[in-house]
Amino acid sequence: MQTNGGKLTLKNLKFFDEGHRYELDGIELPSVSEISRFASREVYGNDISKYVLDKACERGTAVHKATEELDKTGKCEISPEYVEYLNAYVKFRKDFNIKEYTYIEKPLADEEIGYAGTLDRVYVIDEDFAKAVKKHCKMDISNCIGKYAIIDLKTSSTVKKQLAQIQLPAYSNLLCSALSSCADFLGILHLKKDGKYKLTPYEDNRSLFGACLTLHKAFAKKLKIKNK
């Protein structure tokens, strides 16, 4: 792991789209989604059909790729059925006067704890962003100007609060591990099918993520014992 002028380089961290896997120095690391699976089961249950899950995954992937391309090149292509989600994102960027992101779809890892994840957007809070947060989120972050904001994009029909409370602090810890500077604003950007959006802030409370991590490690140990 190396840093250069505040810019992080994880030369040996690899992300594989197929299977959504991470490897650091050839060792596979669990993702934030994998670690939070215990909570996901409680939130979603076992009644969601494979078709619904596949469609949600297809939509999320399409919108994430389109917004990434838009942010990096200024243009993108997307299927007509998902264009309103993209319009919602464009509206968010305009309303919050988003300039240049620090990171876009950035894979990061915590070598000490042993997990990885991809941060959708990392932004340095400026005056315009702080004013927009106060207007749209009714939250004063004027004392956080110059610090980091993590913005996680969601395209699901609803945002599950419990999962957001696990995922966002986990991402904040990854950023802290990488840059020795945690995020001062954590938000879920919910992009909706009607072209609207909602940015919801969350606290950086890592207790739920810690509980899921404990369960993950406990079950991983049991699996290793069984395989011996």
Q: How confident is the model at residue 134 (pLDDT cuts 50, 70, 90)?
A: very high
In 3D space, the residue among 213, 188, 191, 183 whose CA is nearest the CA of residue 202 turns out to be 188
pLDDT in the model for residue 137: 97
What's the length of the chain? 228
Q: How confident is the model at residue 6 (pLDDT cuts 50, 70, 90)?
A: very low
Q: Distance (Å, rounded) from C-alpha 224 to C-alpha 228?
A: 6
Helix (H) or strand (E) holding 34: helix 32-35
Query: 176-207 burial string, b = 16+ CB within 10 Å, else e?
Result: bbbbeebbbbbbbbbbbeeeebbbbbbebebe
- Is residue 15 within 8 Å of residue 191, measured between CB atoms? no
- pLDDT at 210 exceeding the cut of 70: yes
Helix (H) or strand (E) holding 110: strand 103-110
Q: Which amino acid makes up residue 73?
A: T
For the segment 111-135, the average pLDDT, to the nearest whole number, is 96
Higher pLDDT, 86 or 43: 86
CA dihedral sign, ordered 205, 208, 211, 215: negative
Query: 139-169 burial string, b = 16+ CB within 10 Å, else e?
Result: eebeebeeebbbbbbbbeeeebeebbbbbbb
Q: What percent of the chain has pLDDT over 70?
A: 89
pLDDT tens per residue, range 145-198: 999 999 999 999 899 999 999 999 999 999 998 888 889 999 999 999 999 999
pTM (predicted TM-score): 0.89
The overall average pLDDT reported for the chain is 89
Higher pLDDT, 55 or 31: 31
Cβ atoms within 10 Å, residue 78:
18
pLDDT in the model for residue 174: 96
DSSP 3-state percent helix, strand, coil across the chain (nearest 5): 45, 25, 30
Residue 11 φ/ψ, nearest 5 degrees? -60, -30
